[in-house]
Amino acid sequence: AQTVTQSQPEMSVQEAETVTLSCTYDTSESNYYLFWYKQPPSRQMILVIRQEAYKQQNATENRFSVNFQKAAKSFSLKISDSQLGDTAMYFCAFMKNGANSKLTFGKGITLSVRP
Amino acid sequence: GEEVAQTPKHLVRGEGQKAKLYCAPIKGHSYVFWYQQVLKNEFKFLISFQNENVFDETGMPKERFSAKCLPNSPCSLEIQATKLEDSAVYFCASSQRGTAGAAFFGQGTRLTVV
C-alpha cells in the first residue's frame, strides 16, 4: 500500500515571497504519478501540478514548481511570488500507474499568505 | 459538460435516514471516483467506476453504502441508515484515463447527519 506524508500542518508566508511545502511518500511501485491539489475555502479541489515518476525533469506551472527526488521519495512544492489567492489547503497525492487507479492523499497543509 | 457536477451541495439528514448524492462526470470521461473528506480534512477513497462497472470498491463500507453509474444517468452514492460519523464532504472526480489523466473534482456535497 502507498502512503503519503505531509508533516507540516500549517505554514505562513509573506506576500511576494517564496514558500516550499514538503511531501514524502512510500511505495514499491516504479511507475506512478504525483500531484499537488489546492483546496481554497470554497472547498473546490484544484489541480496545481502533476509529475510523472519516469520523468527526471521537475514539473513547472507558472509560479508553481516541484522538486521531485525519486530516490528519496520526496515531492515538494515551491510557490514563488506568493499571492493572497494562494491561501488554501494543499494536498499532495500519489497515484500508481494503471487503469482506473485511485488517488492516495496526504493529510494536507494549510498555507496562509500574509499581506 | 465541462465540469464535474455534484448535487446537492448540502444535505442534512437525521440519523437513520437515507442520503443520496449525485455526480455527473465530465462528458467523455470513463472513470469516476468517490472520495469522502472528513472534518480533519483527510480524504478517504470509497469506490471507482470504469463506465458503469465497479472497478475498485475497497473503501466502501458495504453494509450501508452503495453506488451506481448507469448509462445516460448521473452516478449516485447512497447511504442507508446514516450515522453521525457519515458527516463529511463527499467528492466525485472523473478522469479521461485512469493513469496519466489527472482527476477533475466536483465541488462536493456536504452531508450533515444530525
The answer, yes or no, to whether residue B100 has pLDDT greater than 70, is no
Spatial separation of the C-alpha atoms in residues A92 and A113, rounded to whole Å? 19
List CB contacts (< 8 A) between A97 and chain B: 99-100
Grid coordinates standing for A73? 521519495
What is the DSSP track for B25-60? PPTT--EEEEEEE-TT--EEEEEEEETTEEEE-TT-
Higher pLDDT, B40 or A112: A112
Residues 60-99 in A contacting B (C-alpha not used; CB under 8 Å): 89, 91, 95, 97-99
Per-residue pLDDT band for A96 (boundaries 50, 70, 90) equals: confident
The cell for A28 is 514499491
Closest Cβ–Cβ partner in A47, A97, A107 for B102: A47
- Nearest in space to B101 (alpha carbons), one of B36, B32, B46, B20: B32
| CA contacts within 13 A on the Cβ side of A30 | 0
pLDDT tens digits, one per residue of B48-79: 999 999 999 999 998 999 999 998 899 999 99
Cell reading at B71: 448509462
Helices (H), A35-78: none
